[in-house]
């Protein structure tokens, strides 16, 4: 196996190579609009690292982004300014047309290469150039979110610009193979990016929720019946959705899952239904609708079903010591934890263990475990500490 390859995502089970690697041009493309906060950091992580081209696609900045990028022209950075096309897929596809050939590596302006990966990603791509069926492959770096400690490992960001792969979707866009609605085969790479665009203060300043919800409406109009957009409607718009709206979306998704509706990406309708249930139950808990939370938990997979059942016991009933033992047992089952829709690293289970330890073993034991864990924050916990009974006040307000 190539040393840069971290994971092959199903249905891909084998990556074959033929002949010797041959260098192909490497173009790093940065999408940007009003990114004066972070565009220099992004470019500093890329320039002088071996890429043949570094291109900023500016989709209508009105702050200092354009002038900052202009200062990097002496380092060979190219600036392409276009009107906002109303779709992130259209913006990415425009970038593909600009690059034309060789590797295209997409970065968002609020991302930056980790130091080691910045020095090595060109060598990584050269080593992959001998892979068979390269024009049907896309590659996913590890995108780490320092604020939450979570990492995204299956977001396609790298492929051949002349492969015919194009993006679909106004927001949360995804690549598909030419002439099809099928995604490319996905390979996870040991290449690290950092991302901080969803820090609360950044998201609020850029009004990301309103932007995303408006673009999701466009995506749903253009691609009705795709479960992907319903999931992201809940994930991005949870603070705006009423109890009735959440139940309506989950009901619609259940029907789509039963029909095995087309998604166009790597996830099935059933997987989107599972993901949406886990997200929606946070909003339903805020609304105090624990009966629906418990009903949905019967349809969820572990460990998320156990998490919600245990939170119901903690916050509305009487937990029992076997809840603690069962949570510890689940936490040790790493393969199960890795499938969680809430947190594949298991921090929500750690927070639950801390709360149950405080109940059954005392505050000092709970605090000792807390010190060993990465903090978890959601509607129930703040830095792994159980919120006060008025936790139903919305945490985003």
Q: pLDDT category, 198, cuts 50, 70, 90? A: low
pLDDT at 204: 54
| H or E stretch covering 89 | helix 88-99
Residue 18 has, within 13 A of its CA and on its CB side, a CA count of 3
> CB atoms < 10 A from the CB of 128, how many?
22
Query: Which tokens sit at 286?
Result: 């805020």
Closest by CA position to 327, among listed 369, 287, 290, 294: 369
Question: Quick check: 173 and 218 in contact, CB under 8 A?
Answer: no
Distance from C-alpha of 246 to C-alpha of 250, rounded to nearest angstrom: 6
Q: pLDDT category, 199, cuts 50, 70, 90? A: low
pLDDT digits (tens, 9 = 90+) for 354-381: 999 999 999 999 999 999 998 898 999 9
Question: Quick check: 52 and 26 in contact, CB under 8 A?
Answer: yes
Query: Which tokens sit at 176?
Result: 């598909």
Domain boundaries, the chain: 5-201, 205-392
Distance from C-alpha of 231 to C-alpha of 279, rounded to nearest angstrom: 9
Maximum distance among all alpha carbons in the chain?
66
pLDDT at 258: 96
5-201: CATH class? alpha beta
Token pair 């599972």: residue: 274
pLDDT digits (tens, 9 = 90+) for 62-106: 999 999 999 999 999 999 999 999 999 999 999 999 999 999 999
pTM exceeds 0.85, yes or no = yes
pLDDT at 145: 86
pLDDT at 396: 35
DSSP state of 17: B
Q: pLDDT category, 394, cuts 50, 70, 90? A: very low
Average pLDDT over residues 131-137: 95
Query: CATH second-level architecture of 205-392?
Result: Alpha Horseshoe (1.25)
Distance from C-alpha of 228 to C-alpha of 56, rounded to nearest angstrom: 28
Average pLDDT over residues 40-62: 97
pLDDT at 151: 86
């Amino acid at each position: 196996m190539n040393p840069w390859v971290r994971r092959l995502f199903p249905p891909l089970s084998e990556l074959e190579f033929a002949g010797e690697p041959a260098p192909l041009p490497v173009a790093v493309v940065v999408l940007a609009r009003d990114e004066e906060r972070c565009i220099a950091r992004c470019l500093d992580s890329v320039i002088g690292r071996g890429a043949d081209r570094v291109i900023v696609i500016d989709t209508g900045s009105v702050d200092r982004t354009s002038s900052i990028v202009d200062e990097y022209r002496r380092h060979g950075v190219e600036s392409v300014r276009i009107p906002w096309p109303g779709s992130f897929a259209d913006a990415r596809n425009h970038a593909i047309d600009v690059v034309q050939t060789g590797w295209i590596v997409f970065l968002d302006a609020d991302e930056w290469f980790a130091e080691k990966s910045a020095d090595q990603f060109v060598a990584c791509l050269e080593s992959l150039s001998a892979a068979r069926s390269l024009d049907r492959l896309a590659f996913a770096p590890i995108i780490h979110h320092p604020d939450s400690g979570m990492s995204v490992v299956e977001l396609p960001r790298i492929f051949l610009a002349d492969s015919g792969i194009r993006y679909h979707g106004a927001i949360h866009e995804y690549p598909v193979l030419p002439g099809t609605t099928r995604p490319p085969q996905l390979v996870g790479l040991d290449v690290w990016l950092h991302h901080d665009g969803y820090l609360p203060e950044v998201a609020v300043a850029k009004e990301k929720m309103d932007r995303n919800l408006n673009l999701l409406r466009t995506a749903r109009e253009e691609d009705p019946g795709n479960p992907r957009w319903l999931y992201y409607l809940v994930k991005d718009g949870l603070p705006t959705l009423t109890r009735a709206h959440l139940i309506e979306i989950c009901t619609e998704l259940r029907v789509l899952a039963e029909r095995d509706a087309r998604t166009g990406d790597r996830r099935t309708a059933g997987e989107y239904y599972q993901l949406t249930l886990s997200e929606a139950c946070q909003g339903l808990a805020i609304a105090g609708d624990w009966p629906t939370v418990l009903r949905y938990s019967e349809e969820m997979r572990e460990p998320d079903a156990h998490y919600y059942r245990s939170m119901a016991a903690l916050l509305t009933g009487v937990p029992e010591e076997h809840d603690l033992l069962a949570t510890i047992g689940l936490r040790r089952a790493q393969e199960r934890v890795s499938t969680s829709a809430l947190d594949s690293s298991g921090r929500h289970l750690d927070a639950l263990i801390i709360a149950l330890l405080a109940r059954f073993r005392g505050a000092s034991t709970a605090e000792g475990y807390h010190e060993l864990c990465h903090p978890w924050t959601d509607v129930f916990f703040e830095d792994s500490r159980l919120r006060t009974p008025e936790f139903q006040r919305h945490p985003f307000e």
